[in-house]
Amino acid sequence: MRKKVFIKTFGCQMNEYDSNRIYESISKIGYKKTETVDEANCYILNTCHIRDKAKEKVYHEIGRVKKNFNSKTKPMVIVTGCVAQAENDEMIKREPYIDLVIGPQAYHKINDSILNHIKNKEKREETDFDTFLKFDYFDKIKNNNNKISSFLTIQEGCDKFCKFCVVPYTRGPEYSRPFNKIINEAKQLIDNGCREITLLGQNVNAYLYKEKNKLYKLSNLIMKLEELPQLKRIRYTTSHPIDMTDDLIECYGKSKKLVPFIHLPIQSGSNRVLKLMNRKHSVEFYLSIYKKLKKINSKIEFSSDFIIGYPGETDEDFDDTMKLVKKINFINSYSFIFSPRPGTAASNLKLVDNNIAKKRLSLIQAELFGNQNLKNKMAENTILNVLVENKIKNQNKFFGRTEYMTSVIFDGEKNIEGKVVPVLITNSNQNNLFGEVMYKKNIKAA
């Protein structure tokens, strides 16, 4: 039987990593990936529940698949990810077109569930929090991802319970993978051609693994990865301010591969709102981390996440957030209006008037995007180190990123993928830099 799978992924980088690992798992039972939905006889929707009408979006998407396959044989339909976890067997009851519902900590059961469905047509829902078993299973399957820049999940779940957030319910409690397994996987990625690793976790800097009375933290992982000669850059995301411990901060002075760029969500610039959110840190604490990092390396830049219009946010609270944004010139940030999540502590709180929230969002975004534009403009006529990720299809141009994650599109010559090259920036817009490789002959990796 021809086995072709189409995987559609919503949400964060951890979902992207999971989708790759799911594919590697099901390729062991004969599935090949297709980029054409119509060809698929297995359709996987890897979902996100973080905001908006996430659940409804999933049912609409399934509706589209249903329509698409109206006159053809129905594919096996599998819903994975955070909506699968939150909705579990309700999904199959509401939409019988769905065959399997598999939560983020139960992916080790996916092959069995698929084979069982093929044989018995049985519908299944697997939503136990078996994180240990999941990683144990994936550790036995080689990571074949061959991208220059790859994700590597080292930690899952969250014990912090910010009142707005669904993650502790969809990803379960904090779990850290064994240190050596992570290093082994990093080596596999590097053998496949990877030159930049982004360590992932919902609370990546809460990583803590104990073995034989020795504790391993994120700082230990970074310094171990530092030793791998072919690896050029190390990133990690997403961090929580309270887990920015001194040993991690010191890595910015010790490591040559850790990029001078950190995504450190603050959510609000008002202590009152941070308290309402149960964020467990104050603005002053955040600023103390900022200062410590800047002292170690003044080139370190920050990005953040902001929730605008959290229940109870006043004009004064919002002004405090604007002040913070002006104080720290975040070079790239995400900002969204608060979205009530079913089952969270903030789900039934009185909402800020939508027009007010929208107005605040446009003010903060004007400031954040202004910073981004300015930073990119200031890069013009300078030479930046760019890690080349790929050649752009049907063009003589390449795509890469600066240490600060800014996309660069530039003229270059053959065989520069995977190298760090000096690029003269000649032009920019809000999201991209444009330029040309400086030394077209004898390009050496930096």
Residues that bind ligand F3S (CB under 6 A): 11-12, 14-15, 48-50, 81-82, 166-167, 170-171, 202
**Rounded Cα–Cα distance for residues 85 and 217 (Å):** 28
State the DSSP code for 35. Answer: S
User: Which amino acid is present at 321?
Assistant: T
Based on CB atoms, which residue is closest to ligand F3S, 15 or 105? 15
Annotate each residue in 213-252 with x if it binds ligand SF4 (CB under 6 A) or - if it does not, as one string: ---------------------------x------------
157 binds, among ligand F3S, ligand SF4, ligand SAM, none (CB under 5 to 8 A by kind): none
If binding is defined by CB under 6 A, does position 324 make contact with ligand SAM?
no
Tell the smallest beta-carbon distance from residue 89 to ligand SAM (Å).
24
Which listed residue (19, 41, 155, 202) binds ligand SF4 by CB under 6 A? 202
Q: Is 161 helix (H, G, I), strand (E, B) or coil?
A: coil
Tell the smallest beta-carbon distance from residue 160 to ligand SF4 (Å).
4
Tell the smallest beta-carbon distance from residue 166 to ligand SF4 (Å).
8
Question: Nearest CA to 233 among 192, 170, 190?
Answer: 190
**Rounded Cα–Cα distance for residues 402 and 423 (Å):** 10
Annotate each residue in 157-176 with x if it binds ligand SAM (CB under 6 A) or - if it does not, as one string: -------xx-x---------
* Sites for ligand SAM among residues 42-101 (CB under 6 A): 50-51
**Rounded Cα–Cα distance for residues 243 and 228 (Å):** 25
Q: Quote the tokens at residue 421.
A: 């090259």
Tell the smallest beta-carbon distance from residue 206 to ligand F3S (Å).
14
Based on CB atoms, which residue is closest to ligand F3S, 126 or 367? 126
Based on CB atoms, which residue is closest to ligand SF4, 233 or 341? 341
Residues 6+ apart with CB under 8 A from 426: 380, 381, 434, 435, 436
If binding is defined by CB under 6 A, does position 339 make contact with ligand SAM?
yes
375 backbone φψ class: left, alpha, beta (φ>0; ψ -120 to 50): alpha
* Sites for ligand SF4 among residues 257-296 (CB under 6 A): none
Tell me, letter by letter, the H, E, C secondary structure of 182-194: HHHHHHHHHHCCC
Tell the smallest beta-carbon distance from residue 194 to ligand SF4 (Å).
26
Annotate each residue in 131-160 with x if it binds ligand SF4 (CB under 6 A) or - if it does not, as one string: ---------------------------x-x
Which listed residue (206, 259, 307, 408) binds ligand SAM by CB under 6 A? 307
With contact defined as beta carbons under 8 Å apart, do 196 and 232 qualify? yes
* Residue 123 half-sphere exposure toward CB, CA atoms < 13 A: 15
**Rounded Cα–Cα distance for residues 364 and 366 (Å):** 5
Place of tokens 């446009």: 362
